[in-house]
Amino acid sequence: MHQDILINWSPQETRVAIVENGAVQELHVERTLERGLVGNVYLGKVVRVLPGMQSAFVDIGLERAAFLHVADVWHPPQEGETISAAKAAHAMVPIEKQVFEGQALMVQVIKDPIGTKGARLSTQVSIAGRLLVFLPQDDHMGVSQRIPAAQRESLRSRLLELAGSAGGGFILRTNGEDASDAELAEDIAYLRKAWARVKSASTRLPPMSLLHQDLSLLQRVLRDLVVETTQTIRVDSREQFDALLAFGQEFMPLAAGKLQHYKGERPIFDLYAIDEEIAKALARRVDLKSGGYLIVDQTEALTTVDVNTGAYVGARNFDDTIFKTNLEAAQAIARQLRLRNLGGIIIVDFIDMAREDHRDAVLAEFRKQLARDRVKTMAGTFSQLGLVEMTRKRTRESLAHMLCEPCAVCDGKGVVKTARSVAYDILREILREARQFNPREFRIVASPKVVELFLDEESQHLAGLSEFIGKPVSLQSEAAMAQEQYDIVLL
């Protein structure tokens, strides 16, 4: 398997596609106006200390001052003291004895500004790498709680050995569980260089300066997405190619060697019809080559995937037809999860299979395809109801949530009432209004389809209602109205 990474850059948006063996597997999108501040490190200036709230406001150069609570003022633990004990002890010290107005303070954003609230800050700086998180003000060596307890001690020992005595602590991230010593050492070197730049900038720049910005999507391509099988990283912007090459040569020389500037006349995403794949990834139905199809429904709590045979009748018998459809679906589902970046709980409803060996083969193929995913996944077995339950770690917003918003017509339901249902709602509403008011006439203002129904199939019911209430009812078609919208005007 070989991999290519295509980068389409524009001033307002960066799009990255990961192509494996000619097929798009992942899409990443970052919009300039929507980039968050979490992870950014600033040299702030304390503008106000509030003893009553045990907090301070810090100017970091944004529109509103940011908020620093006493619990987020970091002091490294003393020898033999746990981190939680150190935090508890220093939280008891009043904030007015820890910071003062006019003080220059290195701070990191831990929560983006929301509405009228400013950003939330911490004085404990951490810098995230691909496999590790660097804690420059601490010497703690930690391992993600999601890694099995049996492996943590050996991983901690490896970290201690690789980090040496240069100072600072590290936390091994979940995706570093199976990393080699060389990969960990490369990440350690990158993080130490990044911290050296932050320290240098803090002595040169004035307060309210940005010292460190969490990597852009372009830079994260080199840090997070490049693997051994990556052959090329093609960028369609000369300016961004030069900037990425300089960044890569300083921090990730192996990845930088795979960078290429794309000079073709066709847009880079046209090479693999990626815009078409994005459109398919936003659709509810996914057609399979055999004639079967998937139905993907994303809800707040979980995602469901339903497998259907559709028009596929190519196998010798019905059992083989189902088996082959499920095998193809197992591959397609794993790809769709990556392409759409679906996370959380996922329920897959494969077509029921009578033979156990068929179920085992489909499950083995599904797990094999999921193993190619860089995001951690876990799949169970077939339940009593024939469903496969699985989880996929949430890393960022799904593609649909990033590119789409709920429909203004159906309000996110995915369906609208039929014209006949709306017509009957209108008849009931007129009857309700007639009991409360005594107008000269009722006028129905509705969508063309509803009005047409009243003029044709429902004309008898409308006439009967008019006779019953003793008032004339007129119709007015409004093309701008959606099918469920209507007004009843009292004249």
**CATH no., domain 41-212:** 2.40.50.140
Q: Please report, for the chain, the start and end positions of each structural domain, with discontinuous segments joined by +.
A: 3-35+216-274, 41-212, 284-403, 419-490
Cα distance between residue 241 and residue 477, in whole Å: 56
pLDDT for the residue 82: 59
Share the mean pLDDT of the chain: 88
Mean pLDDT of 305-311: 86
**CATH no., domain 419-490:** 3.40.1260.20
Which residue type, as a one-letter code, is found at position 118?
A: G
- E strand segments, 374-416: 377-382, 388-392
What SS3 class is residue 22?
A: coil
pLDDT for the residue 27: 92
Run of H or E including 197: helix 181-204
N- to C-terminal Cα distance for the chain?
72
For residue range 313-344, list pLDDT tens digits in order: 655 677 888 889 999 999 999 999 999 999 88
Mean pLDDT of 199-217: 90
With CA atoms as reference, report the closest residue to 113 among 224, 24, 36, 203: 36
Stated length of the chain: 491
pLDDT for the residue 315: 53
For residue range 421-472, list pLDDT tens digits in order: 999 999 999 999 999 999 999 999 999 999 999 999 999 999 999 999 999 9
By DSSP bridging, strand 209-212 and strand 230-235 are unpaired
With CA atoms as reference, report the closest residue to 144 among 101, 120, 103, 173: 173
In this prediction the pTM is: 0.71
Fold category of 3-35+216-274 in CATH:
Nucleotidyltransferase; domain 5 (3.30.420)
Q: Give the CA dihedral 236, 238, 244, 247, nearest 10 degrees.
A: 170
pLDDT for the residue 209: 92
Inter-residue contact 195 to 134 (CB < 8 Å): yes
- Split at pLDDT 50, 70, 90, the class of 56 is very high
Q: Which residues contact 381 (CB under 8 A, 6 or more apart)?
A: 363, 388
Q: Which residues contact 4 (CB under 8 A, 6 or more apart)?
A: 18, 19, 230, 231, 232, 233, 234
Please name the CATH architecture into which domain 284-403 falls: 3-Layer(aba) Sandwich (3.40)
For residue range 85-118, list pLDDT tens digits in order: 656 666 578 889 889 999 999 999 988 887 678 8
pLDDT for the residue 140: 83
Cα distance between residue 4 and residue 225, in whole Å: 10
More confident residue, 224 or 421: 421
Scan for tokens 């008019």, then name that residue.
Answer: 466
pLDDT for the residue 406: 83
Bridge partners for 343 per DSSP: none
pLDDT for the residue 87: 60
- In percent, how much of the chain has pLDDT > 90? 49
For residue range 337-390, list pLDDT tens digits in order: 999 999 889 999 999 988 899 999 999 999 999 988 888 889 999 998 889 999
